[in-house]
C-alpha cells in the first residue's frame, strides 16, 4: 500500500487541508497516511480528524500516528514536511524582540533578514535529518515535499547536504495570480502566466488573458488609488522594475532596502504592518482551543474542499501518470542562467509518472536578476553556516541582508547575531557554531579552550546596594590542566576592583569561585557597567559581563506643584505608552496614554489589555516581588494582586480610572502608599509593562527578571529605581 507521511502534522489546520486534497484523488484513496509530530496532544487531534475524514468520504485509506521519525519514514514513498522548529514561543518571539532592541523592525521574518536566517539555522538540521532518514528507510525513489520556510534556504541545504530529490512548495504564485486578476477585473480562470525567480521573490514574466498581454491592465490598476492601496509595496516595486512579484507587500517590504528603513512616514504611506507575524501568531494561539473544538465536533461533517496547494497534485501525477504543471522550488541546474548555479529557484515544473521535470527559463531581465541576487547571497551564506557550523558565516549572511545592512552598522549586526545565537542555544533549538576570533570573521583553530565567565548572584546593586556578589566560572574543555591568575577590570563602576583570581581546573572539569565587588562613589549612573576578564593565556576564551543599566529617578511630590516624572514604554521597537508618575501624601499615581486599537479585557490579563506593575522593596517588608495588574475594563476597572491563569485577588489599595476611544485608552491608577509600604523614604524597583492587543502581548517575566539578571538584561520594558521621599 502506498505510504504518504506528513512530518509536522500537528499543524492541524494546514494538515487537514493537505489530507483533504490527497483523499479527493481516486488514485490516492487507498493509501496509508502516516501523521508524525513531536507534540502528542496535537497528534491526537489530527489523528481523530483524519480518521473522520476517511470515514466521511467512505474510503479504505489507513491512518497512522507516531512521534517516531524513523517509523514515520519507514516505507514512505512521499514525505511532506510542515515543521516550525522552536515554534512561535520561544523562537519567533526571539527573532522579533532581539532585532527590535537594535532598532531593526520586521513584518514576517520567516524568509530573509535576520529572522529568516535564524529560522533557517533552526530548520535545516531537522529537515536534513528527515531527508537522510527517508533515504535510509523510505520506499524506493522517495520524494520530499517541503512546505517549511524559509523555503529557498531549506531546499538549497537539503539538496547540498543529502542530494535527496525534493521540491519546495508554496502558494504564492497561484495566490498572486488570482489577486492580480482581481485588480484588473479579470476572471482568474481566463488568465495565463509564466513566473520565475526564487521563492517569495519570483516575478510574473508573462501575464495574459485570452492570449493577449494583460500587463497594461495591471499598470492601469497601479494608477487607481483604491487598487494601489490594496497592495502598495508590490505595486510600487512593479512601477520601478516593470514586473509584479509573487509574495505579499508585507513580505516584500523586508526583502529590499526601500521601505521600512526610511521611517514612520514611509511605513505609513505604504501601509507596512510592522510585527505582523507576531499579531497573527497571538491571534492563532488565542483561538486554538476554539479551533480544536470546532474540528472535533462530531455533530457536523468535516468541511473538505479542494485547495490551491500543489502537494496532492504532485503525488497524484506521479502515482496515476496524469500530467500536471506546478510551480516548484528546485535546484538551479542551469534553469535560470543569470542566477547562481545550485541555488534554489522557483520555476514551472511538469509532473507525471516520471516525476518532476523543471522547465528551462534562460535569462531573467537584468534588473530582476540583480535584485534577486541580493537575496541569494544571504541564502548561500546561511546554507554554508548550517552545513559547516561556521559562526562567521552567520554574521556575514546578516551583513549582506539588504534590510539589515541599511539599518545597522557592522558592530551592531555582529552583537545582535551573538545575542540571538545565545538566546536560541539557551532555548535548545540551535546547535553549536564554531567560535571565531573576537571582532574578526576568522574561525578559531579548535573549540578546545578554557571558557571564563562571570555569573551575578541575583540582581547586582539592587536598590542602591553598594556591594554585589558574583561567581567566577572556569570551564576547562581542553585535555590539559589549567592554572593561572586571572585579572578583573571594571568600567563605569567607580573604580571597583578585586584582587586577581587564582584559577586551577583539571581537564574536562569546571570550578566556581565567589567574589564580591563594591561600587565606587564615582560610578557612572548613565552608562552600562562592564566587568572585564583579562587573561594572559591563549588557552582561554573570556565572556565579559555586562550589567543591566538601571535608571534612577526621584519621584516628585506634587503637593509643591512640581512636574511629574515622564517616561515611555516600548516593545519590539513600538511606542506602547506615554506615562507620567508622581507621589502625593497618600498615593503613588501612574497615568498613561496607551496605543491599543483593540482594547479588550480577557479573563487572564496577558490575553487582553492591561498595565502590569512589578514592585519590589528590597530593604523593607516586600522581600519578594509583588505584581499588581490594572485592567482597563469599561464597566469595572480594577487592580489585581499577583494574578495567575485563573485570575487574581482584587487589590483594594488602589483606584483605577479609564477612558477608551478608537485609538487606545487613558489610564490613571492611584496606589495607596500605606498598602504598598511606601510611607518611608527608601528605594524600590519597579517594572512598568503593558499588555497591548493591537501589538501582541508586550510582557516580561517580572519575578524571573529580579532573580536572574540575565533575563533582566533581555527584558524590553522600562525599568526605574524610584527614590521615594518622605511626605
Which positions are catalytic? 171
| Beta carbons of 6 and 36 less than 8 angstroms apart | yes
* Cα dihedral across residues 394, 399, 402, 406: positive or negative: positive
The CA distance from 663 to 609, in Å, is 13
User: Are 517 and 501 in contact, with CB atoms under 8 Å apart?
Assistant: no
d(CA 450, CA 444): 13
Handedness of CA 194, 197, 199, 203 (dihedral sign): negative
Cα–Cα–Cα angle for 83, 89, 696, rounded to 5 degrees: 120
Single out the residue of 43, 45, 52 nearest to residue 71, CA to CA. Answer: 43
Q: Cα dist. 19→58, 216, 302, 350 in Å? A: 14, 40, 12, 23
Side-chain-side CA neighbours of 507 within 13 Å: the count stands at 5
| Residues in a beta bridge with 628 | 613, 641
What does residue 496 show for φ and ψ, rounded to 5 degrees? -60, 140
What pairs with residue 577 in β-bridges? 569, 594
* Cα 368 to Cα 366: distance, rounded to the nearest angstrom: 5
624/5 Cα distance (integer angstroms): 51
Q: Residue 80 and residue 62: Cα distance in Å, rounded?
A: 17
Question: According to DSSP H, which parts of 324-454 are helical?
Answer: 366-388, 391-400, 402-405, 410-426
Picking from 202, 208, 214, the residue whose alpha carbon sits closest to that of residue 246 is 202
End-to-end distance of the chain based on CA atoms, in angstroms?
Answer: 82
Paired with 245 in beta bridges are 203
How far apart (Å, rounded) are the C-alpha atoms in residues 565 and 562? 9
- Residue that has been written with the C-alpha cell 474510503 in this structure: 59
Query: DSSP label at 678?
Result: -
**C-beta separation of 99 from 114 below 8 A:** yes
How many whole angstroms separate alpha carbon 257 and alpha carbon 567? 32
Cell reading at 269? 504611506
Q: What are phi and psi of 355, to 5 degrees?
A: 100, -155
Output the nine-digit C-alpha cell for 453.
565567565
307's grid cell: 485547495
Residue pair 339/345 in contact (Cβ under 8 Å)? The answer is: yes
CA neighbor of 722 nearest in space, from 628, 638, 618, 636:
618
User: 3-state DSSP helix/strand/coil percent for the chain, to nearest 5?
Assistant: 35, 30, 35
Q: Are 613 and 654 a contacting pair, CB within 8 Å?
A: no
Instruction: Tell me how many helices (H) and strands (E) the chain has.
Output: 21, 32
| Residue 563: Cβ-neighbour burial (10 angstroms; 0-12, 13-18, 19+) | exposed
Amino acid at each position: 500500500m502506498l505510504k504518504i507521511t506528513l512530518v509536522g502534522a500537528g499543524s492541524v489546520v494546514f494538515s487537514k487541508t493537505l489530507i483533504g486534497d490527497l483523499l479527493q484523488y481516486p488514485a490516492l484513496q487507498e493509501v496509508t497516511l502516516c501523521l508524525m509530530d513531536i507534540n502528542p496532544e496535537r497528534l491526537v487531534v489530527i489523528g481523530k480528524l483524519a480518521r473522520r475524514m476517511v470515514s466521511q468520504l467512505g474510503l479504505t485509506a489507513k491512518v497512522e500516528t507516531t512521534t517516531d521519525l524513523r517509523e514515520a519514514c519507514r516505507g514512505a514513498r512521499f514525505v511532506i514536511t510542515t515543521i516550525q522548529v522552536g515554534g512561535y514561543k520561544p523562537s519567533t518571539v526571539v527573532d522579533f524582540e532581539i532585532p527590535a532592541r537594535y532598532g531593526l523592525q520586521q513584518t514576517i521574518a520567516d524568509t530573509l533578514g535576520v529572522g529568516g536566517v535564524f529560522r533557517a539555522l533552526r530548520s535545516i538540521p531537522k529537515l536534513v535529518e528527515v531527508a537522510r532518514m527517508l533515504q535510509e528507510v523510505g520506499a524506493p525513489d522517495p520524494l520530499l515535499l517541503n512546505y517549511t520556510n524559509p523555503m529557498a534556504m531549506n531546499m538549497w541545504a537539503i539538496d547540498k547536504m543529502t542530494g535527496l530529490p525534493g521540491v519546495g512548495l508554496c502558494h504564492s504564485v497561484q495566490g498572486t495570480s488570482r489577486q492580480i486578476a482581481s485588480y484588473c477585473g479579470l476572471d482568474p480562470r481566463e488568465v495565463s502566466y509564466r513566473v520565475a525567480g526564487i521563492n517569495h521573490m519570483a516575478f510574473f514574466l508573462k501575464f495574459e488573458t485570452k492570449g493577449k498581454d494583460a500587463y497594461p491592465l495591471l499598470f492601469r490598476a497601479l494608477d487607481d488609488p483604491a487598487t494601489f492601496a490594496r497592495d502598495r509595496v508590490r505595486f510600487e516595486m512593479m512601477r520601478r522594475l516593470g514586473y509584479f512579484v509573487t509574495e505579499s507587500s508585507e513580505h516584500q517590504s523586508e526583502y529590499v532596502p526601500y521601505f521600512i528603513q526610511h521611517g514612520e512616514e514611509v511605513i505609513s504611506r505604504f501601509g507596512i504592518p510592522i510585527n505582523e507575524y507576531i499579531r497573527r501568531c497571538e491571534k492563532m494561539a488565542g483561538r486554538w482551543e476554539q479551533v480544536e473544538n470546532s474540528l472535533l465536533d462530531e455533530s457536523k461533517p468535516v468541511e473538505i474542499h479542494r485547495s490551491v496547494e500543489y502537494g496532492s497534485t504532485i503525488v497524484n501525477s506521479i502515482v496515476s501518470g496524469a500530467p500536471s504543471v506546478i510551480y516548484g522550488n528546485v535546484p538551479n541546474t542551469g534553469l535560470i542562467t543569470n542566477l547562481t548555479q545550485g541555488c534554489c529557484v522557483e520555476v514551472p515544473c511538469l509532473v507525471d509518472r516520471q516525476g518532476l521535470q523543471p522547465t528551462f527559463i534562460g535569462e531573467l531581465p537584468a534588473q530582476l536578476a540583480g535584485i534577486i541576487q541580493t537575496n541569494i547571497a544571504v541564502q548561500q551564506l546561511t546554507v554554508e553556516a548550517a552545513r559547516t557550523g561556521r559562526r562567521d558565516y552567520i554574521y556575514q549572511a546578516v551583513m549582506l541582508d539588504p534590510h539589515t545592512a541599511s539599518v545597522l552598522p557592522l558592530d551592531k549586526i555582529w552583537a545582535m547575531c551573538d545575542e540571538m545565537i545565545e538566546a536560541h542555544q539557551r532555548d535548545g533549538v540551535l546547535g553549536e557554531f564554531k567560535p571565531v576570533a573576537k571582532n574578526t570573521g576568522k574561525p578559531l583553530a579548535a573549540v578546545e579552550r578554557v571558557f571564563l565567565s562571570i555569573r551575578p548572584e541575583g540582581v547586582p546593586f539592587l536598590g542602591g546596594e553598594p556591594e554585589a556578589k558574583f561567581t567566577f566560572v572556569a570551564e576547562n574543555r581542553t585535555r590539559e590542566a589549567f592554572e593561572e591568575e586571572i585579572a578583573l577590570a571594571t568600567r563605569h563602576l567607580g573604580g571597583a576592583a578585586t584582587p586577581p583570581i587564582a584559577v586551577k581546573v583539571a581537564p574536562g572539569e569546571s570550578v566556581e569561585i565567589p567574589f564580591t565587588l563594591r561600587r565606587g562613589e564615582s560610578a557612572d549612573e548613565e552608562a552600562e557597567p562592564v566587568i572585564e576578564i583579562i587573561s594572559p593565556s591563549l588557552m582561554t576564551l573570556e565572556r565579559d559581563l555586562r550589567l543591566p543599566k538601571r535608571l534612577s529617578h526621584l519621584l516628585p511630590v506634587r503637593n509643591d506643584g512640581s512636574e511629574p516624572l515622564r517616561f515611555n514604554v516600548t516593545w519590539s521597537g513600538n511606542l506602547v505608552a506615554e506615562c507620567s508618575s508622581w507621589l502625593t501624601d497618600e498615593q503613588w499615581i501612574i497615568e498613561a496614554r496607551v496605543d491599543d486599537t483593540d482594547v479588550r479585557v480577557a479573563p487572564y490579563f496577558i490575553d487582553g489589555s492591561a498595565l502590569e506593575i512589578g514592585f519590589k522593596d528590597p530593604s523593607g517588608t516586600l522581600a519578594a516581588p509583588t505584581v499588581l495588574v490594572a485592567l482597563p475594563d469599561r464597566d469595572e476597572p480594577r487592580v489585581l494582586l499577583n494574578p495567575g491563569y485563573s485570575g487574581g485577588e482584587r487589590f483594594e489599595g488602589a483606584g483605577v480610572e479609564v477612558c477608551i476611544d478608537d485609538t487606545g485608552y487613558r489610564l490613571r491608577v492611584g496606589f495607596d502608599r500605606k498598602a504598598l509600604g511606601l510611607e518611608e523614604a527608601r528605594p524600590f524597583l519597579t517594572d512598568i509593562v503593558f499588555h497591548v492587543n493591537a501589538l501582541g502581548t508586550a510582557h516580561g517575566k517580572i519575578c524571573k527578571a529580579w532573580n536572574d539578571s540575565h533575563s533582566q538584561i533581555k527584558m524590553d520594558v522600562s525599568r526605574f529605581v524610584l527614590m521615594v521621599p518622605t511626605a
